[in-house]
Structure 1
Amino acid sequence: MTKPQVRIGRVYDDPAGEQALRVLVDRLWPRGLTKARAALDEWCKQVAPSPELRKWYGHDPERFAEFRRRYQAELDAGEQAAALAHLRELASDHPLVLLTASKELTISEAAVLADLLTGRRAAE
């Protein structure tokens, strides 16, 4: 079995020449972006962090390790677990680009999801 090909990117970036499924993983639609310009294959908002966790985190780099731990716990149950299973299924058949509006990709939920989908679960 081959390792899934999963990358992360900003939803605002030009999708020209993209050879992967483009999946938005934010719960909220990106400000100022039209659906046509986004050129998404799917919007999987169910996999996003809960509103409470998202607000607590606020993309503060000092909170990222704790955010990752809490988010991974959220992904273990309910609607989010089902959405993560769906992304796993997509990634098993196609290269995948997980998109977010976040400016800092390395500390975004997309980075956490990419690690989980490729088997790089961070130490808790």
Structure 2
Amino acid sequence: MSFTGKYELQSQENFEPFMKALGLPDDQIQKGKDIKSTSDIVQDGNKFKFTVTIGSKVMTNEFTLGEEFEFTMPTGEKAKTVVQMEGNNKLVATVKGIKYVSELNGDVMTSVVTMGDLTFKRVMKRI
């Protein structure tokens, strides 16, 4: 299953408490919670390019499955991680104790980010 496509945010749960726990300032959290974000994903075999646009902020992460790369976190901080594929529709990575799981089912991608006992969930639809 190919992840390639453009996805638009449909819903999210626990955005504010999760971003606060990450250390984002309240003004950025308030701006970010009401903005519809989009994600452009290009998959070429084991190579991926994720471009996330939230308002005027654009973050890009490029990686090859199973190879270490520098990941840009929502705070702008960079950290090294490795992304693995589970099955043919789930991407999994752990960065600085935060677990990222993105699962594609048809045209819907669900991302669950877990830090300790706090979980942030985003549902995006291919457009």
Q: TM-score range by the shorter chain?
A: under 0.3
Q: TM-score, normalised by structure 2?
A: 0.27
Q: Which structure carries more relative contact order (alpha carbon 8 Å, separation 6+)? A: 1
Structure holding more helix per residue: 1
